[in-house]
A and B are shown apart, each in its own frame.
Chain A
């Protein structure tokens, strides 16, 4: 079992920064450059989005990045090709998750997908439309066999009993969606405090990272004061949207969040 994600989070002791980027965006071959830029600017984990034509849980910014990536010709096969050697230094220590929807993964072949992800050095998967029943009965054992983490989402609407169950099924961390919404929704973080406090007091087996609506230093620090870290998605995609240079845009965006 690969424990890189858990180790990164344990070692960091708070303020873990997980940044999402869609593979194939802004350019077909951008992902390695994005990963390097994120690591250089002290991000801990990258969540690589695998673009899908019908991303139900995503708001307009990530939907648009998916459309651009698909128009650029991005596929799962190309992503694995691009990721082939990334574990060689200098990207050896970055936590890498693949996030995507079930259908493209099923068409690729679920077991083949897990095997090749593990081979290139991916640490875990986030598949929001893979429900726990199908996870437990069919797909979970395949994911585990290949040593990958699987990360479930919980929301403010998720019952305590269910949070405990999803925590049991997850490894790496638990993804706390900060509000019941699609990605990129501007939410008032103060409304979320009760929920994050509740999660904190549950003393779950996994660390908790907070996502959805994390867009600047204030929201990042707020999330990190209740959880082990936070996930930035739409705000980073927006920063890349207007940028000509991935490296400079990433540096400027991340220093606005974690710079001193």
Chain B
């Protein structure tokens, strides 16, 4: 395979020289060297754990390198913090939330820069709000105002706040780290437009994403990292999805990793929502899940599908109506749900599905106390370790040991831990909210296989997803939601198109 090692431009904006970063025993970047030219959208791809975000974080002044150096505009680049990097032209929006909840949008945009609006000893909020609103107007963001409290915004709008914050600094390098997974179609279009506009003005955009199609559409060049090593860079005319996959993974990956056959499912209803109404989103909502069924739930991000997942699991208060299991048990809290072998994987993995400062084992066994008891309520350490190790092996979780802290693992490995936690207790009904968000194609393929295997073993799955190909590829039946109601129901069939689902969404 012929891959260009460096793009042929006169003067690179960023030069990376044998850059390394170690997190304890984990080598995140291993003497990486490459260049990024000025005024391009440079895609940065690689599997989870390949080192993309680590590189971006070093460039943005969030963390320090272990050794090696970066040159920015020909000068050694060593920002001591994010603010210094921003002031000198490198701004980044991160994968998970980077906003403060209890302040307004304007205060988030000018966080740490409040003195710019000082009138003597006081800060002029009026001036600050006006300046923030100007940025929002420039970016054509209309869904909230500068004075809106941030806690009222959903994940997508918070991302837009981060983009606005980054734009204030008129960056020479704009890093977008896995941001599009949190954005709806409108949000994505806004971001793509902004990226194009920036490159026209000479800014370089470093675009980190697992969506190869998106990268191929938006980028001028794509650089690939694998296991902390730099593999190469492809120019636009060399883009080829299969080639990129091979560069990322180091082996051929089957083109279609969705399940192709239509095995159907049982008529037995294992879970149903009867006229459920929640404080937000759902009004008199009905749905049924069958044994051995993968029920896809799609729609725009604010259609209520995420609330539905929580309500079915008892994690969202149901004001009226009931969620009932096949045996008649009413699910009105998470404890009852877990006791009846239900599982829930949140879209907001780091905040809701994992204890980041706990170890891999502590997370996996957190709901498996009964399974690991030896004498009455006494838990066996040995059984627990074996339980955790089995999930680590079965799911190929990349970690130094079961005692590895979850916070230092990549997104894909974290998601595998969430899977392992629920699979380990043999959950029968699994509610998965965007289970492949922020994971690479290799892990994605493994998860699809896992979901399909679970279906074949009679498990029932609610698959909430914002990715239409995933819904079409994995679901036996798809319901599309709009404004908290079902706007369309489509059975698995040959030739089911994304357009049909989009029509139901809009």
Q: Do A and B bind each other?
A: no
